[in-house]
Structure 1
């Protein structure tokens, strides 16, 4: 089984993260709305098939310039929310 999630992003150029998580926490698909199109398409391609926990570990607390967050950090935060909802 898999479940679809959609969360707003905060403090970044990207506005929203949409993704599907499988029961074993692997990322089936991901799409980030807004932001740096090519970079985010690449990130979404890389994380496909990875465990959410691995992505969180790698992306959490990454900063974008002077901002206190980044698109990868928002992905990590949104994956954490999804895992909390699944448990």
Structure 2
């Protein structure tokens, strides 16, 4: 199933991803933000279980904002898997 998430407090404007029935995340795409870094995050997270990605990325802070694009991906995944 494909999900679309609207991040809050970061440069990225949208995160799209797919999750299969085993909670494996694929095809992560960020719109906006630091393109090179977000391509790296996407490639590293692709094919991993949502719970593993959440554990790795949740709480990462960018520039004192209290969140980051990786943290927003973790929040989006948490919301998607309930």
The two structures have a TM-score, normalised by structure 1, of 0.91
Unaligned runs of 5+ in 2: none
Note the C-alpha offset of 1:12: 0.2
Tell me the equivalent position of 2:73. Answer: 75
Runs (4+) off by over 4 Å: none
Q: CA RMSD in A?
A: 0.6
Q: Partners of 1:76 and 1:8 in 2: how far apart?
A: 12
Of 24, 27, 46, which residue of structure 1 is paired with 2:25? 27
Q: Deviations over 1:18-62 (max 9, x none)?
A: 000011001121001100001101111111110000000011111
Unaligned runs of 5+ in 1: none
**Matches of residues 8-87 of structure 1 in structure 2 within 5 Å?**
8-84=6-82
The 3-state SS of whatever aligns with 1:31 is strand
The 3-state SS of whatever aligns with 2:13 is strand
Alignment size in residue pairs = 82
